[in-house]
């Protein structure tokens, strides 16, 4: 499959930490980049982005060679401006983000960020023009043995002979029921209304199973469409929020494939004002970049 993406040419992207407070800043940058969980990332970024020299650091770190560092610093700097956020400032951030990750940003993710800037609680838009990329939403009832109803007209989900078949826009994937249930277990999605997000290319299917209670992290799984085997699993951290008991922590996702860059980008819109972007290597699922609107600190908006 071939996909077209808007691009932004970047000039002067450099590694910053060695230019400012070499020992202290370098250690904090390394801790943030090397974080293995969103909890570790939250602690590391909080230390890096706060303190007496935080604004000076942010001005320089927004140009860092590491994409995660650059995007999170740019967003924090934007939020800390003295004047109210304006749409033109957001436009610069979105353009810069699209250029760094080299992937088109879904329209509903941008629309929710616009509502953030306007001081409104973002409302998830229920439609988007990404069907050609194999996006779908399928709900399951609480009982694991019952697949429930299909909620998207271009998707079908069926079970039989201990197998589960997913069909969307001409793509089809049939896997053993045990494998499908193992994805739910690995993703720690054992309760509530489950949602399956999916993207396809010629050889692989990428499945993300989420729920409306836990708020993540969730698991993104790549499956070989011919061999029906799991190729890799990756953790989608999302942006943590302060949660209350019961439902209301739903995340809405768009999975965007970029074959030219060899990545799949996960764009998440969460409860309140939380949102995230996380990119993974199509070959092995290694994280290429992660952005969180609250830098993985649930006490921030």
DSSP strand E in 82-217: where?
A: 138-140, 155-160, 163-168, 171-176, 194-200, 204-211
- 167 three-state secondary structure: strand
For residue 9, count other CB atoms closer than 10 A to its CB. 5
CB 157 within 8 A of CB 147: yes
Instruction: Say yes or no to pLDDT of 282 above 90.
Output: yes
Beta bridge partners of 69: none
Query: How much is the pLDDT for 242?
Result: 64
- Amino acid 32: pLDDT: 93
pLDDT tens column, 36-85: 999 999 999 999 998 778 888 899 899 999 999 999 999 998 888 756 66
| pTM score, whole prediction | 0.79
Per-residue pLDDT of 139-180, as tens digits, reads 333 223 234 433 344 556 667 777 777 776 677 878 777 877
Q: Evaluate whether 212 touches 193 at the Cβ level (below 8 Å).
A: yes
pLDDT, one tens digit per residue, over 179-218 is 777 776 665 555 555 677 888 888 999 988 877 667 788 9
pLDDT at 247: 52
Domains in the chain: ranges and CATH = 17-117 (no CATH), 131-292 (2.40.10.480)
- The long-range contacts involving 38-44, CB below 8 angstroms and separated by at least 24 positions, are 38/217, 38/237, 38/238, 38/240, 38/292, 38/296, 39/296, 41/237, 41/290, 41/292, 41/295, 41/296, 42/240, 42/295, 42/296, 42/297, 42/298
Average pLDDT of the chain, as a whole number: 75
What is the rounded (10 degree) CA torsion for 194, 199, 200, 204?
-70
């Amino acid at each position: 499959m071939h996909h077209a993406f808007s691009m932004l040419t970047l000039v002067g992207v450099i590694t910053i930490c060695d230019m400012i407070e070499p020992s202290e800043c370098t250690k904090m940058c390394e801790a943030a980049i090397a974080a293995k969980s969103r909890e570790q990332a939250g602690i590391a970024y909080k230390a890096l982005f706060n303190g007496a020299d935080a604004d000076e650091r942010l001005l320089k770190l927004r140009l860092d060679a590491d994409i995660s560092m650059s995007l999170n610093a740019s967003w924090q700097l934007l939020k800390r401006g003295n004047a109210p956020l304006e749409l033109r400032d957001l436009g610069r951030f979105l353009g810069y983000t699209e250029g760094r990750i080299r992937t088109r940003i879904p329209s509903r993710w941008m629309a929710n960020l616009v509502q953030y800037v306007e001081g409104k609680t973002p409302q998830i838009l229920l439609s988007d023009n990404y069907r050609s990329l194999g996006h779908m939403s399928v709900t399951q009832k609480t009982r694991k043995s019952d697949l429930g109803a299909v909620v998207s007209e271009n998707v079908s989900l069926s079970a039989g002979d201990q197998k589960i078949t997913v069909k969307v826009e001409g793509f089809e994937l049939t896997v053993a029921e045990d494998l499908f249930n193992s994805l739910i277990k690995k993703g720690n999605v054992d309760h509530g209304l489950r949602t399956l997000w999916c993207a396809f290319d010629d050889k692989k299917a990428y499945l993300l199973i989420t729920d409306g209670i836990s708020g993540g992290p969730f698991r993104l799984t790549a499956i070989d469409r011919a061999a029906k085997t799991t190729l890799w699993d990756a953790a989608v951290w999302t942006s943590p929020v302060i949660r209350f008991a019961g439902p209301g922590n739903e995340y809405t996702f768009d999975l965007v494939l970029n074959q030219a860059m060899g990545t799949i980008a996960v764009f998440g819109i969460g409860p309140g004002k939380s949102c995230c972007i996380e990119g993974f290597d199509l070959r092995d699922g290694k994280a290429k970049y992660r952005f969180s609107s609250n830098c993985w600190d649930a006490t921030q908006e």
